[in-house]
Amino acid sequence: MPIKFYKYQGAGNDFIVIDNRDLQFERTNHERIAQWCDRRFGVGSDGLMLLENAEGYDFKMVYYNADGREGSMCGNGGRCIVAFAHDMGIIEDNTRFIAVDGEHEASLSKDGTWVRLKMIDVNSVAREGDDYVLNTGSPHYVRLVDDLDTYDVVKEGRKVRYNDVYKAEGINVNFVEPQGTGYAVRTYERGVEDETLACGTGVTAVAIAMAVDRGETGSLMVPVKARGGNLKVSFERSGTVFHDIFLEGPAQFVFAGEI
């Protein structure tokens, strides 16, 4: 039986999105999800999302990594599923939805292509040598580097992701370099097991880690350039707690089809 799917991208981070409010999609068929995400044997994407009903919310977001396994929160995916819900007429300019890491709020621009998404609070940022480890809905490792454009993100990312500390559960690894008033970032993503053009929870982690690195407090807005586009992260820092964290950037429909 053919299933209707929609392709969305946020700063080059791309996703298959399926309206599963009727619960007809077979969520346990992880091999099929992985095949659909494959860029040669399927539709091709960094992940797959299901939009489902949830009591008390506009919708529920269910996210799968490209390897077919259900994943943790995806920031750019969250922004894309908000754009999808808007395009489907499920929401208007504002929404409140539930994901694996809890409740989220979001708002859209008038044309529906720019989404501002509220992320979960961050209560701690750990140090590992000169690097930073924190959870922004997904676990992230942040490292400052020089010459980011030529840096071997896949090789160095795999060293961290598969070391003895992280290999069981995995971790996303972000490499960052100051650029202008903000930062440039490249990310190795677990579940994709490769570099992606952008990572929403990753750029959020970078902005927060760099605030710690520079000793910045109060209300902050950080422009972050990913390989696939420009994003913004804003938040309030009170001591060791980061709250009112918002990730914003483009979220756009690419094409639809049946598979």
CB 160 within 8 A of CB 130: no
Query: Based on C-alpha coordinates, what's the Rg of the chain?
Result: 17
Q: Is the alpha carbon torsion for 78, 118, 71, 250 positive or negative?
A: positive
In 8-32, which positions are buried (b, 16+ CB within 10 angstroms) versus exposed (e)?
A: bbbbebbbbbbbbeeeebeeeeeeb
Q: Which of 74, 81, 83, 247 is catalytic?
A: 74
Q: Is 199 a catalytic residue?
A: yes
Q: Which of 11, 37, 142, 199 is catalytic?
A: 199
Q: Is 74 a catalytic residue?
A: yes
Angle at 72 between CA 172 and CA 170, to 5 degrees: 35
Q: List the structure tokens of 245.
A: 């964290």
- Catalytic residue numbers? 74, 199
